[in-house]
Structure 1
């Protein structure tokens, strides 16, 4: 039994798509993880459907979030958007906290920002990012960041795990030495890595969401599509 070149290409492309992964450093440069700076690095990425985007909270020390927004309101949570909650990173944090989201709609840009307010709003300092954003026209990343720097503050409303165009199946993975404040915490998390008030500590239960069934349905659909190609005569005996 052998497969036609078309079938092999389709299968290889599907596997590559489902296995794609990129990393975005939160609060640090990729080559200098202890920088403690107000930026996402890289600030823009291209990610097709099925790509797993890992937000690595590598800025030590620091306290940041990854919160979905929109081009028109870069420092305000997008209704129905994803939100990591705040991650406080202490000097002794190891391994680094991370949060995975999967791209579900690569046809539209995904914008996000850090909603931390201390010591000054991070979004207004330019801590914003984008995935699958236009490289020309009016809605470029440069224009988005300029709008963010003009903002007076940053919206604090809590988002969800499942966003628009991307979704997570669990809360961030937070190891010893870091502190997680979930999206539902009512007060602004402190800029440092020490918990205060009623904010939850670093021990968290990873809660599944509808993103699990979404990813399962996507994989099942992909499998059925490949079977359909084979049944349609792409297989050569």
Structure 2
């Protein structure tokens, strides 16, 4: 079987697009320009379908999230949007935590923010980012960030892995030295865990004491009770037995 040069070119282009990868740093150092600690860097990116976007939690120390939002409500979680959960990074953490999402609709702008609120709201301090957004008109990144800075509150609702226009296939990769507070941890516990890296750029301390692992699929984090599990299993067994002729 022979392929035309055009077909070969299109195939190569498709593979290249699928394998594309970009990195967005989550958090920075106090001395970093354009926002200090509270920023995504770069704040805007262009990413065609199939691109893997790696969110690298590089602000040390820090406690941040990557939470999908919308242009009109930049500091509120988007219904059906993706959410990394809170990741607390302490000094000397290596390698750095990271989270991969894949672009599934490059024709739709993707807006996101950090939902941390301690010691002050990160989103309303300007910690927002965007992918595939217009460079002119009303819905630019500058306008989005201005909306965020005017926000009166920062939404804490928990999202998931699958978002709108981009999705993750797994939880963040969090090495030793960092702590992941996924959907199972309360917003208050998550926010207080590790960083007081607010607009001043300061940070303090370690993660809060908790008997939970923080992993959203762990039994403790999901609020799973062994007695409840046993009861469910017993009911299932009885139901199955009742169906036997």
Q: How far does residue 3 in structure 1 lie from its aligned partner after superposition?
A: 2.8
Report the Cα distance in structure 1 between the residues aligned to 2:58 and 2:125, rounded to whole angstroms: 18
Q: CA deviation at 1:92?
A: 1.9
Aligned length: 203
Unaligned runs of 5+ in 1: 207-237
Distance (whole Å) between structure 2 residues aligned to residue 158 and residue 13 of structure 1: 36
- Where 1:3 maps in the other structure, the secondary structure is coil
CA contact (8 A) 2:193 2:207 kept: no
**Structure 2: segments with no counterpart, 5+ residues:** 196-205, 219-245
* Preserved CA contact (<8 Å) 2:27 2:37: yes
TM-score between the two structures when normalised by the length of structure 2:
0.77
CA separation of 1:203 and 1:95: change in aligned 2, threshold 3 A: farther
Q: 1:129 to 1:199 in 2, by over 3 A?
A: farther
Contact 1:182-1:200 at 8 Å conserved across structures? no
Which of the pair has more CA radius of gyration? Answer: 2
| 1:195–1:36 CA distance, 2 compared to 1 (3 A) | farther
- Structure 1 distance, partners of 2:14, 2:60, is 37
What's the TM-score once normalised by structure 1's chain length? 0.80
The reply to whether residue 21 of structure 1 matches residue 33 of structure 2 is no
1:148 paired residue number:
148
Measured after TM superposition, the shift of residue 4 of structure 1 is: 1.6
Q: In structure 1, what is the equivalent of residue 114 of structure 2?
A: 114
Q: Distance in 2 between matches of 1:154 and 1:180?
A: 20
| Secondary structure of 1:118's aligned partner | coil
Q: Over residues 123-176 of structure 1, what are the superposed CA-to-partner deviations in whole Å (9 max), with x where a residue is unaligned? A: 000000000001111000000000000012210000010000000001000000
Cα shift at 1:183 = 2.7
Aligned residue in 2 for 1:167: 167
RMSD: 2.2
Cα distance, 1:106–1:203 mapped onto 2, change above 3 Å: closer
Q: Deviations over 1:175-225 (max 9, x none)?
A: 00000000342232225262325474477879xxxxxxxxxxxxxxxxxxx
Query: 1-side partners of 2:83 and 2:16: how far apart?
Result: 27
Query: In the TM superposition, what are the counterparts of 1:193-232 in structure 2 within 5 Å?
Result: 194-198=206-210, 200-201=212-213
Q: Kindly state the Cα deviation for residue 80 of structure 1 after the two structures are TM-superposed.
A: 0.3
